Each structure stands twice: as structure tokens, then as C-alpha cells.
Amino acid sequence: MWRSRGERKLNQRKYCTRVCKQESQRGKPGNYHPPRRPDRVTRSDGYVSLWMPEHHKAYSGRVLEHVVVMEFVLGRPIGDNEEVHHKNHIRDDNRPENLEVLLAGEHQSMHNAKPERRLALIEHARLQAQTRDPITGRFVTNGSTQ
């Protein structure tokens, strides 16, 4: 269908966001553009995510902050079979002393366990963490890795 010069399609917008339109109408310079995505965001489930599209665990350009913190502390990437656990169960408390790396199965069984069994599982995970090589993450027995 032919349209005159000033007409637009029904769903076609002139501005990318409402903020851009408002700033344009207020007489701000034409190159004004609000930040499209903040670098650090607290998600609705309480976890903090960072904008790091190049990260190996990124999903839609974002990665969970506690994963990045633990990778920095360990000096290696978190493996696919590993998960980072918040010791105090506060999802946005990403201090290194509050985080620990567990195997996915250990982490799941810890959260599914009854309260009296949970303490035993936490102690078991801590003992295993002490016997892991900090670089490779493999279990160490008598000075050799398995």
C-alpha cells in the first residue's frame, strides 16, 4: 500500500524507548540515549547477574555474580558439574567467605535433605573441598590426583 511521506506503519516507532521520545521532546541533544542494560542487576529471584557476554557460563549475555567471584578466588573456571553454594542462603551475599563450590549432586542433596541430615552433608562437602586440588578441582589422595 502506498503511504505518504509522513505516514508510518501501524506498529512502527520513531523512537527506541519512551525515555528517548521524552528526552527528544524536552529538547535534549539528538544523540542522547539511556543505558540499554545496566552492568549489574539484581534479578527477581534475588541473584545478582553481570553483563559479560564473553563468559563461558553466560546466558543471554549475563552471568551470575557468585560464579564470577568463585572463579576469581579459585583462579580457574567453574566446571559444568560444579555449582556455587551460598553458605548463609542469602542470594545476593557474594562475599568469597560465604561461597563454596560443590558438585551438582552434592549441592542438590544438601538442599533436599532434612535439617538434621543437612549438617552432616555440609560437613562432608567441606572435608571433600579440603581434599580437592585448588587448581584442577580434582580430588587429591596421598599427593596424587584422581
CA 92 to chain centre: 10
pLDDT recorded at residue 33: 56
Q: Which among 105, 100, 65, 58 has a CA at the least distance from the CA of 81? A: 105
Q: Which among 41, 68, 63, 65 has a CA at the least distance from the CA of 53? A: 63
pLDDT recorded at residue 99: 92
In a domain, 23, yes or no: no
For the chain, report the end-to-end CA distance as a whole number of angstroms. 70
Q: How many whole angstroms separate alpha carbon 83 and alpha carbon 94?
A: 14
In a domain, 66, yes or no: yes
Overall domain count for the chain: 1
Read off the C-alpha cell for 58: 553466560
In a domain, 100, yes or no: yes
In a domain, 4, yes or no: no
pTM of the model: 0.56
Domain span at 120: 40-145
* pLDDT digits (tens), the chain, 146 positions: 455 555 555 555 566 677 777 776 776 555 555 555 678 889 999 999 999 999 999 998 999 999 999 999 999 999 999 999 998 888 889 999 989 998 888 888 777 767 777 677 777 766 666 666 666 666 665 554 44
- Let me know: does 100 contact 110? Beta carbons within 8 Å: no
